[in-house]
Amino acid sequence: MSASEIASATLQSHVAGNPYPGRGLVIGKSASGDAWQQVYWIMGRSPNSRNRQFSLNGTTLSTEPFDPSKVEDPSLIIYEAMLELPNQFLVSNGDQTRTLCDGLAAGKTAKQALSIRDREPDAPNYTPRITGQLDLTGDTPEIGLSILKANKIDPSYSDRHYYYPQEPANGLGYGLTTYMGDGNPLPTFNVDPLLLPIAATPEETLDLYWNALDEENRISLAVKEVSFDGSSSRVVLRNKYA
């Protein structure tokens, strides 16, 4: 199978054929070859998790309550999901987006910045913290992915995995999700970053993933398009309850 065929097959098996991959992110190149794209989605099973939507302030993507009167615990569901620094584009499934942004601004590496964070404290699921970084500050672009998840022997500790894959071809991206599928407790993502497709435009990518995600559990989805030199970006998004 070609890389494109693998990516399409993975979209079908891990996203479209999966009722609950959880939150997910993808970073890659547009199929048209003229921009980068970052994808981020949220899903929910509980009323608290489903009571969310994306909001956009400039280029900062955040989660917010759909109905503030029904919020039970905002600590793990309200956060900045996409942030930017000059030529650095960050995405994550929690408030570690801010941790990474502030750390990079202070001159730390991504690993140094995230070293103070752990998996989410939501026993028994211990949801992983997944984070993506598109770094366009150097001579060559770099994609960085990290996942902080509970140690298999003692979940009070976090195992830290960092990936720096080769620059992808047009129409391809690398992705992480929080879970492998539905369950109780939810099975933690336990494979290498996934090869997934990226369409020509952010609008097409948004449709591609929105249509693939489970209709009952999908909540919100956003795609950020970044110019090749990092000089500009724009975000398109869709909320289930809009």
CA distance 91 to 2: 28
Query: Can you tell me the mean pLDDT for 75-99?
Result: 95
**AA letter at 5:** E
- The pair of structure tokens assigned to 16 is 């479209």
* 13 DSSP assignment: I
Instruction: Identify the residue with better confidence: 71 or 78.
Output: 78
Confidence (pTM): 0.96
Instruction: Identify the residue with better confidence: 77 or 163.
Output: 163
Residue 75 has pLDDT above 80, yes or no: no
Query: Can you tell me the mean pLDDT for 129-153?
Result: 97
CA distance 138 to 148: 26
Looking at residue 76, its pLDDT comes to: 76
Per DSSP, the three-state class of 184 is coil
CA distance 80 to 242: 19
Looking at residue 230, its pLDDT comes to: 94
- Name the pairing type of β-strands 35-43 and 60-65: unpaired
Residue 67 binned pLDDT confidence (cut-offs 50, 70, 90): confident
Residue 69 binned pLDDT confidence (cut-offs 50, 70, 90): confident
Taking all residues of the chain, what is their mean pLDDT, rounded to a whole number?
95
CA distance 110 to 5: 31
- Tokens 């001159």 found at: 107
Looking at residue 49, its pLDDT comes to: 80
Residue 74 has pLDDT above 80, yes or no: no
Instruction: Identify the residue with better confidence: 83 or 241.
Output: 83
Instruction: Identify the residue with better confidence: 220 or 77.
Output: 220
Residue 232 has pLDDT above 90, yes or no: yes
Residue 54 binned pLDDT confidence (cut-offs 50, 70, 90): very high
CA distance 221 to 54: 8
Looking at residue 47, its pLDDT comes to: 83
